[in-house]
Amino acid sequence: MPFPTHRMRRLRRTESLRSLVRETSLEPRNFILPLFVCPGEGVRREIGAMPGNFQMSVDQIVAECSKAVGLGIGGVLLFGIPETKDEAASGAYDDNGIVQRAVRAIKSSVPKLLVLTDVCNCEYTSHGHCGKIAGGDVDNDATLEWLAATALSHAKAGADIVAPSDMMDGRVAAIRKALDGAGYLNTPILAYAAKFASVFYGPFREAAESAPQFGDRRSYQMDPPNAREALREMELDLEEGADMLMVKPAMPYLDIVRLARDRFDVPLAAYQVSGEFSMIMAAARNGWLDEKRAMMESLTCIKRAGADIILTYFAKQAARLLA
């Protein structure tokens, strides 16, 4: 007879007991803070739908990175807002582009902090799509050249890890080849392997000024109902040479995180995207949710589902609470 011999509540009675048997805990070293770098000096423009997040010029980004390292955060992920956009996304692979300049500045003043770069074209194209447009759609193979050139210019600037987020087929192999060919044998690739065409990227597109000017991203990002396909995407990225995998978004896709954790033995990241952050912030500002608890519960559960690394706009706040 399980009851009354067994009483699950025995180990929940006090915080000390709960703490003793707690299965999952968060550590700031596993957090990656996404940052938006823009032209200018002394610029710090708050993003409307993402309270506490800013478009920042290089000098401000460097200051932010010093804070991040002080809090024990593992790394930052850089997105660029270029001076100008064009059809060929030339700002993405310009050795003197906004992200490249930011990487050099961060690595020279906060060398210990890992700098990851998002490798994608949507912030740099005038049409806001993630690649070269041909016949009303993104041309996969032509886009690979831009991506390889971008990843290489990030590595040259000193990026510790490159993270392609475009969802073109073959990009991991193309990037690996370009990096290896130029001697960057040791630059790891974190592949946004299972990236879904999600409505939860909404606030980010305001932050990065990267909303597509026509159509949507459904011909390259994944269809949200598909889990088996996500595993296949991840398997292909590993075969092409990805060192780490990412699932994105996180919370509505925790089943994918768990499937990936059980199937693959590489480090696994999950990206708590802008919409996930904004929902919690909006509810908290309305007095409908406790902000700190919602933040910590969401992050803990992403980790419990199997993520080793969490990309989150809450990185600083959570690290402060954990200190």
Q: Which residues are catalytic?
A: 195, 248
CA–CA separation, 64 and 58 (whole Å): 10
Q: Which is nearer to ligand PBG, 31 or 201 (CB)?
A: 201
Which residue reads 């200018």 in tokens?
40
Q: How many residues bind ligand PBG (CB under 6 A)?
A: 11
Binding span for ligand PBG by CB under 6 A among 14-22, 94-102, 115-123, 175-183: 115-123
Q: How far is the CB of 41 from ligand PBG (least distance, A)?
A: 26
Return d(Cα 192, Cα 174) in angstroms, integer: 15
Out of 201, 220, 253, 264, point to the residue binding ligand PBG (CB under 6 A).
201
Q: Considering the complex, what minimum distance in angstroms separates the CB of residue 8 from ligand PBG?
A: 38
Q: Taking CB under 6 A as the rule, which mask of x and - marks residues 204-243 in contact with ligand PBG?
A: xx-----------x--------------------------
Please report how close the Cβ of residue 295 comes to ligand PBG at its closest, in angstroms. 15
Nearer Cβ to ligand PBG (45/59):
45
Which region among 118-126, 141-149, 172-180, 223-231 touches ligand PBG (by CB under 6 A)? 118-126
Q: Could you say which of 118, 233, 237, 240 contacts ligand PBG (CB under 6 A)?
A: 118
Among 106, 113, 122, 319, binds ligand PBG (CB under 6 A): 122
Among 130, 162, 172, 305, binds ligand PBG (CB under 6 A): 130
Residues of span 243-302 touching ligand PBG by CB under 6 A: 273-274
d(CA 118, CA 288): 33
**Residue 133 or 182: which CB sits closer to ligand PBG?**
133
Query: Three-state SS string across the chain, please?
Result: CHHHHCCHHHHHCCHHHHHHHCCCCCCHHHEEEEEEECCCCCCEEECCCCCCCEEECHHHHHHHHHHHHHCCCCEEEEEECCCCCECCCCCCCCCCCHHHHHHHHHHHHCCCCEEEEEECCCCCECCCCCCCEECCEECHHHHHHHHHHHHHHHHHHCCCEEEECCCCCCHHHHHHHHHHHCCCCCCCEEEEEEEECCHHHHHHHHHHCCCCCCCCCCCCCECCCCCHHHHHHHHHHHHHCCCEEEEECCHHHHHHHHHHHHHCCCCEEEEECHHHHHHHHHHHHCCCCCHHHHHHHHHHHHHHHCCCEEEECCHHHHHHHHC
Residue 67, both tokens = 């804070």
For position 120 contacting ligand PBG by CB under 6 A, the verdict is yes
Q: Of 7 and 145, which has the nearer Cβ to ligand PBG? A: 145
Q: Should residue 165 be labelled a site residue for ligand PBG when binding is judged by CB under 6 A?
A: yes
Q: Is 33 in the site for ligand PBG (CB under 6 A)?
A: no
Residue nearest to ligand PBG according to CB distances in the complex? 204
Question: Taking a C-beta distance cutoff of 8 angstroms, is the pair 213, 205 a contact?
Answer: no
Q: Which is nearer to ligand PBG, 94 or 118 (CB)?
A: 118
Site for ligand PBG in 64-103 (CB under 6 A): none
Q: Which residues in this chain contact ligand PBG in the complex, by CB under 6 A?
A: 118, 120, 122, 130, 165, 201, 204-205, 217, 273-274
